[in-house]
Amino acid sequence: MRLKAVNARDLTPEALRLFTGRTPLLTAGDPTACNTMTIGWGGLGEFWQKPVCTVYVRQSRYTFQFVESHDYFTVSILPEDRKDALRLCGTRSGRDMDKIAACGLTVRYGAGDAPFFDEAELVLVCRKLYAQDMKPECVIDHGAASPFYKEGDWHRMYVGEVVEAYHA
């Protein structure tokens, strides 16, 4: 086990890199079943006086059912040399294959039995606080949003309290 528990509030310098220039894996489930997918959008901050991570998941994604049915999710940053795993997790569905096994990732479990990967450089274990569907009628800048919703497959936003953090 190379990951060490750290205080989420001590990760501030890392927070700026989490969703820019790196591709995080969003994972949800439990020891009986889980799935992971790459995510390109997200944010870190403070909400209700708690450190939080916000992620967005389309309802058509297989991982959506795992995030919906569990109280916790994780965000993992793999090292640069694991781009092969990110490519597979970003292009294949867990409905069709066991992506985690195919990538040779080692699953560990955090709070709420939330799955994450021992190979990661940084992991955030998050307890869901808030979820809301994004809706076209709420968009203010339609020019910014329209390229991402040509199929009408809108995201659900999840705000999770960062209850555990691990850093290599």
Q: Judge contact between 62 and 95, C-beta under 8 A.
A: yes
- Among 68, 63, 42, 64, which residue's Cα sits nearest to residue 53? 42
The CATH number assigned to the domain holding 39 equals 2.30.110.10
Of 108 and 23, the structure prediction assigns the larger pLDDT to 108
pLDDT (tens digit per residue) in 77-115? 999 899 999 898 889 999 999 999 999 999 999 999 999
What is the phi-psi region of residue 152: left when phi exceeds 0, alpha when psi lies from -120 to 50, beta otherwise?
A: left
Q: Which residues contact 102 (CB under 8 A, 6 or more apart)?
A: 88, 92
Please give the tally of structural domains in the chain. 1
Range of the domain at 156: 4-167
pLDDT confidence band for 119 (50 / 70 / 90): very high
Whether the full predicted model's pTM is greater than 0.85, yes or no, is yes
Determine the average pLDDT of the residues in 135-142.
Answer: 94
Determine the average pLDDT of the residues in 13-30.
Answer: 79
Regarding beta strands 115-117 and 33-38, do their DSSP bridges make them parallel or antiparallel, or are they unpaired? unpaired
Q: Which residues contact 155 (CB under 8 A, 6 or more apart)?
A: 41, 56, 57, 58, 59, 133, 134
pLDDT at 22: 79
